[in-house]
Chains A and B, each alone.
Chain A
Amino acid sequence: MKKFIGNIMLTVGLVGGAIASARNPPLWTALGGSLAIMGVGILLRRQGEKEELHKSAAQGKGGKEELKRTLETAIAEIEKIMEEREKDLEKAREHLGKILETLETFAEKAQPLRIEGIRFYGEVMTSFSKAERHLNRAWSAYADGYVKEGDTYLESGYSQLKETSRLLNSRI
């Protein structure tokens, strides 16, 4: 509810402020009032968002639990790829492509981590993105037939995903 009211106040303040600013010259007093409404809206919005995130994290929806599950699944799937690449490289590469698509959603799901602190969020995403880039390189190398390069980066991406998982677990 707080977030909803905050959003409305933010929108009303923006529309009022934009109209007041559009006049030649701007209506500075009206703009000041609009900025104040926006300010209160922002406070409510941020508070509401924090509460919602804590609530969903406590219920196990979204938040770190879901992120951990996503990572664990990806790590387990990569282990399967490491086995199947010996038998069928093409199938392993396709499998890797699917995992990379799944990992793309990690970033969206990771937004709640911001409530743990922006630095922590930055550290997790930096680690995760490195893993993702290395897995992307493994995909490209396999597609080009450079198996050794692909293997090297698959293993590096795998280790980096484990590192991301360790980082996440460090804040339980």
Chain B
Amino acid sequence: MERYAGQTLSKREESYREVTPAAIVLGVLWGAFMAASFTYAGMIMGFTSGGSAIAAIVGWGILRGLLKKGTVVENNIVQTVASAVNISVSGVIFTIPALYIMSLHQEINTLYFFLATAAGAILGITFIIPLRKQMIEIDRLRFPTGTAVATILKTPGSGIEKARLLFFGMVLSAVIYLIQQFPIFGLPHVIPEVVDLGAALHLPEWVNLTIALSLMVFGMGLITGRNGLIVLAGGVLSYYIITPVVKSLGWIPAEVQGSAISSYVYGTMTRPLGIGMLLGGSIAGLILSLPVIAVAMKSLAQASKFKDKNGHNEELPIHYLIGGAIFAFVLLLVTAYKLGNLGLGRSLITALIGVAWIFIASLLVAMSTGMTDWSPVSGLSLVSVMILLYLTNKNVPLTILMGATVGVAISGAADMMQDLKTGHMVGAVPSRQQKVELLTGWLGPIIALTVVGLIWNAYGIGNDKVPAPQAMALKSMVEAVLGGSVPIDKFIAGGLLGFLLSLSGVPGLGVLVGLSMYLPMLYIIPYGIGCVVNEVAKRKKGYEFIVEKVLPFAAGLMVGEAAMTLLFAVLTVAGVLHP
């Protein structure tokens, strides 16, 4: 019988390994390692990463390489747990360090940090569970990272050719990324991270045609395909139609000149418009999907009554979701009541609106990542801060703490959906993935908060050594909201446009165009090129070519660069690198 890469095919009689102690322990350990590394590195460099794909590769190495008994669905549990533990890092480091920078952290008992962020982790996961059917089964959103991870999980059984393509993509993108980082090691700058094509073509300075040379972003586009073309079109509208028109109409202050014009239009016009469109588009999408959500909920309630031959539910019983939401609501209520001196009535309203906002934001983030792999977390944070400052009577510590709840929730929601997409593609049982994510998702915030506390004691935060750029950005947002300089008119105008676009009959159009106006062109171009290549390849070579050749190669491109970012995070934590 033919053997395939990494596989010794032997017929096994025992029950199929899926949720095992080995998978959970490995997932928690690897997730904790990534969470600690990315917390520290994220506060220095300003970015984090999900790490699902790396966890899947590590899972293969240990479960099958060392323990000699791993299965596809068991390794899916490893990556589900690891990414659940790791993903909430961004929700914490974007918010909590701002309290330290503003010297407000002592106003809140540490226990509340843990409770509020744990509530976020639980809320994000529970809210997104009922939407699995709609987004994955009915709307068939692509979830590029989830698709890439499924490709990795299936590679050992998919034949040597796919394994080769995956490996080639990984090595290529890792090597390119490494060469781009040469200056950090004191080596010559061979391949830049960005190319200013506009300058090379002698275009006017205000034409933003800078391209990020990121194979990971190109790979995301390769997996996304047609949906991403709308993002590319929206980027063209934003940067190459609106910007010149606005300039020629004289709507830009005279002191803004040269390359600053593009940044000005982006910062004060198109980006807030994009945020509004995202919100309007997702609300319209939610309304239009209500009949389908009703079908999904009915099917969920029915499915949770039926058990498989082993006596397990395929879908998580609906009372888990209700229980989780009530639990998290109570935690938010207690936090608002105890910390905000708001009185019971206002605390109740704060908790209720907070929970409703988390639902909408989770939906939006899951839709965005499902269609493009990008989540507009910073834009949503701005809206969160705006809503929460109003609700809490401009209580800044409470606003930032509840902002952390929202941040953790929406990161968790997007990750849960990516993991469920992977699970769908490898045939995992959804309820098992959801249970392990609920059981472990709250660990990440505790790890991240502990690391933030340690960093504060060791080096301080918001200085040359630990600049915490995302928290500084949040501090600016809070100050902007307190100073009354939030572009609410742009949010409303964008919301109307996004709402109408989503009624057009093209699923998610409002969200896609909003996202394209919100994102910097730097990444839209390589992503768009990936989408175009996918579409051309599909038309010329057929869908089978995409599945057989393009997907494994694209997954490799995403994993190689992601692995390098983790390596650089670890090297930074170890003190080897000082970016």
Contacts and interface: CB of A to CB of B under 8 A. Distances in A.
A45 B504 CA distance: 7
Of B157, B265, B427, the most chain A CB neighbours within 10 A belong to B427
A154 to B, nearest CB: 11
A22 B71 contact: no
Contacts of B154: 139-140, 143
Contact of A90 (B2, B134, B249, B273): B2
Contacts of B4: 143
A49 interface: yes
Nearest to B494: A21
A86 interface: no
Given A101-B547, A121-B138, A121-B292, A145 B12 contact: yes
B428 interface: yes
A42 B504 contact: yes
A46 to B, nearest CB: 5
SS class of chain B's interface: helix, strand, loop or mixed? helix
Interface stretch (B237-245, B331-339, B384-392): B237-245
A22 B251 contact: yes
A122 B291 contact: yes
Given A21-B273, A129-B136, A42 B265 contact: no
Contacts of B414: none
A129 B242 contact: no
SS class of chain A's interface: helix, strand, loop or mixed? helix
A136 B137 contact: no
Nearest to B241: A15
Interface residue tally on B, bucketed by range? 35 or more
B268 A24 contact: yes
B111 interface: no
Contacts of A93: 157
Contacts, number: 170
Interface string A118-138: 110111011011101111111
Interface in B530-579: 543-544, 547-548
Interface stretch (A31-39, A62-70, A71-79): A31-39
A148 B13 CA distance: 7
A149 interface: yes
A122 B427 contact: no
B500 interface: yes
B357 to A, nearest CB: 23
Interface of B: 1-2, 4, 7, 9-17, 71-73, 133-134, 136-138, 140, 154, 156-158, 237-238, 241-242, 245-246, 249, 251, 265, 268-270, 273, 288, 291-292, 294-296, 299, 309, 424-429, 489-490, 493-494, 496-497, 500-501, 503-505, 513, 517, 543-544, 547-548
Q: Which 10 A-B pairs have the closest CB atoms?
A: A137-B427, A143-B157, A129-B137, A21-B493, A136-B427, A122-B295, A140-B72, A149-B16, A22-B269, A122-B292
